[in-house]
Structure 1
Amino acid sequence: MARIPYVSADLAEPREIVDAVRKRRGGTLLNLDRMLLHSPELASGWNAYLGAVRTRLSLSPRLRELAMCIVAVVNGAEYEFIHHAPVFIEAGGTQAQVDAMRDPDRAAADSALFDDTDRAALAVAIAMTRSVKVPDAAFDALKSRLPERELVEFVATVAAYNMVSRFLVAMGVEPE
């Protein structure tokens, strides 16, 4: 249950900010947006930053969504998982992989469902989320599989979605 009321779904002001958020969301405001819009400036920055992470990086959409899903599970952010699991599947993931991510450690070790790059990515995302520090072996495994730009973008995506999930959980944002 949300810890404070959401702003109205038909919020119109401040127009420039609300319109930008609606545009990124295809015309609607999600519960996350309705919570963020208590602070229009925060919502504006969030919208621009997360919009870039979601749509303008060179990291593959599948790895991006894998990162988002595993962060969501580790942090108990069901809202985030519900929103990103279907996008992971659209990007080439499978329902079996989605189901497996419900147990992060088993997923990171599952060579039948996840290839070497996936497992390395899962290990880095899990370590970053649980303890912030990533063991050298885990980082090096991912580093050997991704170009530097994609490695930076993967780590930044994990960091960004840790922010998202922690906001969702702390504020009690509910799935639509």
Structure 2
Amino acid sequence: MPNIEYCNIDDPEIAELVSTIRKRRSSGKLLNLDRMLLHSPPFARGWNAMFAAIRNQLQVPRHINELVICAVARLNNADYEWIQHAPEFLAANGTQAQLDALDDVTAACYDTALFNEHERVALRLTLDMTRQVKVRCEIIEKARVLFGERQLVELMGTIAGYNMVSRFLVVLDIDAAGE
């Protein structure tokens, strides 16, 4: 059970927002995360807009975005986030062996057999941002060379955003079931 009950999605005052969120979800179904966010319509509206941009409008390659999201999920013990994004990583041409390697994100950062240079640098960035917040200069510089400034900002924003997601999910004990 979550720490706060899920919002009643049949409330007419939030019907338009519920519809907007359904449209963003490829399945058209609300997740329990959505049902929790709907307690605060302004917060849910902003969250929906930000994550719609992260998921659909960035130049960072999709598999890199999903890789860092999965790494954040593992680092923060956010099973809900993992359940939602591991299939997305596989759909974006990631491999099951790569997902399995994320059981030890630190080791994955240096695994040249499973991860290419872009993936390893993205994982190192994720590890530092998630564990220390402050990222070592050499990692930022390497990421800047590999991704360019726009993609680096997008990657950092994705990592920061999904750290927020995982913390929200874990603190509220939101379960992965939905409609």
Give the TM bin, normalised by the shorter chain: over 0.9
CA distance in 2, matches of 1:41, 1:138: 36
* Structure 1 residue aligned with 2:90: 89
For the residues of structure 2 that align with 1:82 and 1:10, how far apart are their CA atoms?
Answer: 26
Deviations 1:89-123 (A, max 9, x none): 11110000011112111111111000111111100
Residue 130 and residue 75 in structure 1: after superposition, are their counterparts in 2 closer, same or farther (change >3 A)? same
Residue segments in structure 2 that go unaligned for 5+ positions in a row:
none
Total equivalences in the alignment: 176
Go from structure 1 to structure 2 and tell me whether the alpha carbon gap of 1:40 and 1:142 turns closer, same or farther (over 3 Å shift).
same
Contact 1:31 1:173 (C-alpha < 8 Å) held by counterparts = yes
Matches within 5 A, 1:100-139: 100-139=101-140
Aligned to 1:21: 21
2:2 alignment counterpart: 2
Which deviates further from its counterpart, 5-14 or 165-174? Answer: 5-14
Structure 1, unmatched stretches of 5+, are none
Distance (whole Å) between structure 1 residues aligned to residue 84 and residue 114 of structure 2: 21
**Shift, 1:131, TM fit:** 0.8
Instruction: Return the alpha-carbon distance in structure 2 between the equivalents of residues 110 and 47 of structure 1.
Output: 34
**Structure 2 residue aligned with 1:149:** 150
Structure 1 residue 27, shift from structure 2 partner: 2.1
Work out whether residues 7 and 35 of structure 1, in 8 Å CA contact, stay in contact via their aligned partners in 2.
yes
Contact 1:9 1:29 in 2 (8 A): no
CA RMSD of aligned residues (A): 1.2
Aligned match of 1:159:
160
Calculate percent identity across the aligned residue pairs: 48
Residue deviations 1:145-175 (CA, integer Å, cap 9, x gap): 1121111100111011111111111111111
Question: Following the alignment from structure 2 to structure 1, what is the Cα–Cα distance between the partners of residues 61 and 41?
Answer: 31
Equivalent position SS for 1:144: helix
Match of 2:62 in 1: 61
Q: Distance in 1 between matches of 2:52 and 2:168?
A: 17
**Which 4+ residue blocks in structure 1 deviate beyond 4 angstroms?**
9-12
Q: Secondary structure at the match of 1:146?
A: helix
- Deviation of 1:16 after TM superposition, in Å, equals 1.7
